[in-house]
Amino acid sequence: MRYHAIVAESEELGIGDVRRFTLNEGGETSSFIGVVTGVEECAVRVKRCYKEDPKSSRYVIKDVAAAGLEYALFVDDRVWRLNKNAVGRKYGSLSKKDMRNIRK
């Protein structure tokens, strides 16, 4: 019988990762789910995701089962530039097709 160690998922940041991000703004801590659109040396570029879209102005990703979420993601147009310290748990990754549509 052979022993196969459970290999932990790589924690390296990649473009298209759906992750939780934590912001500490003057003592107020908040978190949100976002999509990594770019990785720099000390920072990451992120587009924030929402559960609903009241204005019908955000890009929708309906099939997010692969990302580990049970609801549709609405991706905002605004790009956030965050420190790598704000990066949290990885939920999954988006497809190349969705990433092409988000980058428009």
Asked whether residue 12 is domain-assigned, the answer is no
CA diameter of the chain: 58
Question: H or E stretch including 99?
Answer: helix 96-102
Asked whether residue 27 is domain-assigned, the answer is yes
Question: pTM of this prediction?
Answer: 0.78
Q: Domain holding 87: CATH number?
A: 2.30.30.110
Asked whether residue 9 is domain-assigned, the answer is no
Task: Express each pLDDT in 8-58 by its tens digit.
Answer: 555 788 898 888 999 887 788 889 989 999 999 889 999 988 888 777 778
Asked whether residue 6 is domain-assigned, the answer is no
Asked whether residue 84 is domain-assigned, the answer is yes
Distance CA 20, CA 31 (A): 7
- Provide the domain count of the chain: 1
Residue range of the domain that includes 85: 17-97
Evaluate whether 21 touches 34 at the Cβ level (below 8 Å): yes
